[in-house]
Amino acid sequence: MSRIGKKPIDIPEGVTIEVSDHNLVTVKGPKGELSQQVDPDIQIKIEDGVLNVVRPTEQKRHKAMHGLYRSLINNMVEGVSNGFKKQLELVGVGYKADVKGKTLELHLGHSHSIYFQIPEELSVAAETQKGKNPIITLEGIDKQLIGHVAAKIKSLRKVEPYKGKGVRFVGEQIRRKAGKTAAK
């Protein structure tokens, strides 16, 4: 039983949802427009400002898609009304981040600078305060795209378990290992 799929999605003020004949769901809101192709078996019903996702049978495949498409549509509604934001923290001596247009320049302890191209749909900001680690902020309406770009940036310098240096999400807990102890 998909509990997530059964939850109705409240449509906020200023957001419109259109479903085409080919099950293409388009969500328009104050921050932008997103669309998602939905499996033909899954039905989308909009009544009284509430969207429901309905599955035809109790097959395992239909149950899985029921929850998936409900979550994707909910993320689209959330994105066009409020937007999403992810913050990355650069932990390490000399680690820096600069933004020039849609290019993110990173200094992550390599012998060279890394230039990362940010997609047009996202906005990026880098902030550095004295005595604190640099923070990169990604904002946009597409939750999946923000997560993908954040994971790519994070993979440029993975957090190592001994000193905790690398790129991590703000507030992320890292499992630390004890180093070698002196022989007696």
| Reduced 3-state DSSP string for 46-109 | EECCEEEEECCCCCHHHHHHHHHHHHHHHHHHHHHHCCEEEEEEEECCCCEEEEECCEEEEECC
Q: What is the pLDDT of residue 182?
A: 61
Tell me what percent of the residues of the chain surpass a pLDDT of 70: 97
Q: What is the pLDDT of residue 5?
A: 86
Mean pLDDT, the chain, rounded, equals: 91
Q: What is the pLDDT of residue 184?
A: 60
Summarised one tens digit per residue, pLDDT across range 1-11 is 458 888 999 99
Q: What is the pLDDT of residue 180?
A: 84
Q: What is the pLDDT of residue 179?
A: 84
Calculate ∠ Cα 68-3-70, nearest 5°. Answer: 30
Section 47-74 average pLDDT: 91
Q: What is the pLDDT of residue 35?
A: 94
Summarised one tens digit per residue, pLDDT across range 8-38 is 999 999 999 999 888 899 999 999 999 999 9
pLDDT category, 100, cuts 50, 70, 90? very high
d(CA 144, CA 76) in angstroms, rounded, equals 10
Summarised one tens digit per residue, pLDDT across range 108-133 is 999 999 999 999 999 999 999 998 99
Taken in order of first residue, the domains within the chain and their CATH numbers are 3-81 (3.90.930.12), 84-169 (3.90.930.12)
| Cα–Cα distance list, 134 to 3, 100, 131, 170 (Å) | 40, 16, 9, 11
Q: What is the pLDDT of residue 2?
A: 57
d(CA 81, CA 102) in angstroms, rounded, equals 24
d(CA 104, CA 124) in angstroms, rounded, equals 8
CB-CB contact of 168 with 88 (8 Å): yes
pLDDT of 150 > 80? The answer is: yes
Q: What is the pLDDT of residue 21?
A: 84
pLDDT of 81 > 70? The answer is: yes
Section 82-90 average pLDDT: 95
The token duo for 158 is 């993975």
Tell me what percent of the residues of the chain surpass a pLDDT of 90: 74
